[in-house]
Amino acid sequence: MIRGALGAIVAALLLSIAVTTLVDVASHPKPAALNYWQDDAVVDRLIVLAKDLASDPSPPRQDEILDDLVALHRRAPLERRVLYVLVDLLERTGRHSAADRLIEIVGGMGYRDPGFRTVYTVRLLKSGRWQEAVDSYDALLRIFVDARPALLTDLANTASIDAFRGVLLTKLATRPPWRRVFLSYLRDLYSSKTFYFETYDALNADQSDPDLQEFSDYLKGRIDAGDTALAHEAWVNFNRRRGVAVPYGVFDGAFTLPADGIPFGWANGEVKNVVHHYLPHPTMEGRRALGLTFFGDRTPYIGVEQWLALQPGHHTFKAQSTAEELTAGRGLVWRFFCRQQGGTWLPLATTRPDQGSHGWMVFEVDFDVPEIDCPLQTLRLEPGGHAVLDTEISGSVTFTDLEIRKR
């Protein structure tokens, strides 16, 4: 299995180099880390030899090309494009061990050339030198940012080899700068979502101090894969480890914690034309209220939202609010939606509109969560209507003590 996987990787890389790098000598850039005078006569000769090599020359002509390449290398030892064509010749003529040796020598010299270094990395994989291969990928991903998509694909494919995967996980546990983008690649682009979940779970087996952005992406990935219950369980365990209680229904309905944008917590997106601020709770110490101030601009999205994992059945949502000169076409309302298969959102309930000026008052609404196709819900503060005038909001409103009870 290992030989087959590596063989495919080697073939793809050598084909890519032969087509895009080795043959097209005229367009190949100078190594960026080298500052030397270019011998135009050498480059001109290389173009001729590369074209001859691409025309499938006879064995005697191949030997002549080899002699010419050796002579060019002696004349311009820093001209690495000679080595590109030389490797191409060795591969075309079946002298693979010689090509591998040249790749190892040149690739081991440093990271000035990503093409050679990548092929050298594959040679390390082919010989089972897993740690050296992982270290080489690490350096390539740090240095050649523009090449990351191709490198991430190679890395993900190679991680199917168990021995390599163990070394890769050890490297990822050190949190290299490319770790988050690698996990995002596995989540969004790689063919196997299971491999992404297994990789994340392995990296967080000790369940301590997760990267919050990685954790948020992981929960969203689980939800998109239809594993809402598993995602919510991971969320509950995360809060338990940090000493935060998770009640049934609304999380942190008194806004005592900073919004971090993690699923099942409050969204933390800043919204233009809305000022979010926290105020003391009207009657209880240690609790807070969320205040919102509007300035008369169009505000279709307010940025106050939370995902929920409610059980099927009858529920009551309850909260309290106060407002001062709150003006909106149809007021502000809290709406519940159910996420159905395919990602569509089905409305479940809407509270009475809040507007005008009033002191603290309690409001509530009853609603039912369907038995089928409603594993995830969302609670969102919105304008009461969707017409333009309905979204032009001014004044202020404050909410606290949001809770949901199952009846």
pLDDT band at 311 (very low <50, low <70, confident <90, very high): very high
Is residue 371 one of the residues assigned to a domain? yes
Number of domains into which the chain is organized: 2
pLDDT band at 378 (very low <50, low <70, confident <90, very high): very high
How many angstroms separate the CA atoms of 280 and 55, rounded?
80
Is residue 111 one of the residues assigned to a domain? yes
Question: What domain range includes position 314?
Answer: 274-406
Between the CA of residue 73 and those of 45, 69, 96, what are the distances in Å? 12, 6, 20
Is residue 379 one of the residues assigned to a domain? yes
Q: Which of 84, 101, 127 is the last residue of a domain?
A: 127
Q: Would the pTM count as exceeding 0.75?
A: no
Is residue 44 one of the residues assigned to a domain? yes
Q: Which of 92, 109, 127 is the last residue of a domain?
A: 127
Is residue 121 one of the residues assigned to a domain? yes
Residue 86: its H or E element? helix 80-92
Give the tens place of pLDDT for each residue, 176-229: 999 999 999 998 887 778 889 999 999 988 766 788 999 999 999 999 988 999
Is residue 333 one of the residues assigned to a domain? yes
Is residue 181 one of the residues assigned to a domain? no
Is residue 145 one of the residues assigned to a domain? no
Q: Which of 73, 92, 127 is the last residue of a domain?
A: 127
Assign 3-class secondary structure to 353-377: CECEEEEEEEEEEEEEECCCCCCEE
Residue 302: CATH number of its domain:
2.60.120.260
Identify the pLDDT of residue 97: 78
Q: Which residue type occupies 29? A: P
